Chains A and B, each alone.
Chain A
C-alpha cells in the first residue's frame, strides 16, 4: 500500500550524538516536508523539498539538515543533538502543488538526554 514511512518511531539518545531520522514514501510524490511538533501543538515547518536535489529551509530555525537524492527518500540529520531538539518530527509528502493535500507519516518522537 502506498504510504509514507518514518523510522525510528521513538529515539532516546544522549547529547552530542549525530542523529538521522528517516522518511520514505512509496507514492512517488514530488514534494516532501519536515515538521517539528510538540505533542498536540502547532506544526512548524523546518525543511521542504520540491524534488530531487531541491531543499529549502522552512519558517522555524533549525540546526538540522536534509537531503533529497532520491524522490522517495528525505532524511533529516542533526549533527549534534541537544535537549532543545526534544520533540516530535513529522514527515509529509504532497503530489502536485500547494492546492493538494499533504500526507503525513507516523512521526519520530525524539528525546535528547
Chain B
C-alpha cells in the first residue's frame, strides 16, 4: 500500500530564515497532497494542499511544490516567525475512495 516518508523529523531554523520539509510517497497514483500544522495542544489544521495537476502552489509565506516524477512534495516556509513553531504533517491520497496516508511529522523550531 501507499507509504509516506517525511524528513526531517526535527528542523531548527533561525527566525527570518526559510524552512523546507520534504515528503516522499510510494504510490504514483496519489493525486492529493495536503499539509497540516499542529501547534502544541491544538488540533491539526490544513495550511495548504496541492493536487497532481499542479506543480506549485503559494499562499503568502508558505508554498508547496510537487515533483510527480520523483514522487516527492515539499513545504517551503519563508521569513519564518516564532508562530511558525509547530509540528507539520504531510499526507497523500489516491482520490475519492481512498484515505489520507500520513507522514510521521516534522517538529519545526524557530530560534529567536
Which A residues are within 8 Å of any B CB, using their own CB? 33, 39-43, 45, 48, 90, 96-107
Q: A11–B40 Cα gap in the complex (Å)?
A: 18
Residues of chain A within 8 A (CB-CB) of B82 are: none
Measured CB to CB, the nearest residue on chain A to B33 is: A99
Q: A98–B99 Cα gap in the complex (Å)?
A: 5
CB of B45 within 8 A of CB of A104, answer yes
- Mark interface residues in B78-107 (1 if CB within 8 Å of A CB, else 0): 000000000101000111111110101101
Q: CB of B43 within 8 A of chain A?
A: yes
Evaluate whether A42 and B104 lie within 8 angstroms (CB atoms) in the complex, with A98-B95, A98-B99 already known: yes
Which B residues are within 8 Å of any A CB, using their own CB? 31-32, 34, 38, 40-46, 49, 51, 87, 89, 93-100, 102, 104-105, 107
Residues of chain A within 8 A (CB-CB) of B31 are: 99
- Among B42, B98, B102, the residue within 8 A (CB) of A106 is B42
CB of A107 within 8 A of CB of B89, answer no
CB of B105 within 8 A of CB of A96, answer no
Residues of chain B within 8 A (CB-CB) of A103 are: 46
Residues of chain B within 8 A (CB-CB) of A40 are: 38, 40, 87, 105, 107
Measured CB to CB, the nearest residue on chain A to B34 is: A101
- Among B40, B98, B105, the residue within 8 A (CB) of A98 is B98
User: Could you say which of B44, B89, B97 has the most chain A C-beta atoms within 10 Å of its C-beta?
Assistant: B44
Residues of chain B within 8 A (CB-CB) of A41 are: 104-105
Measured CB to CB, the nearest residue on chain A to B107 is: A40
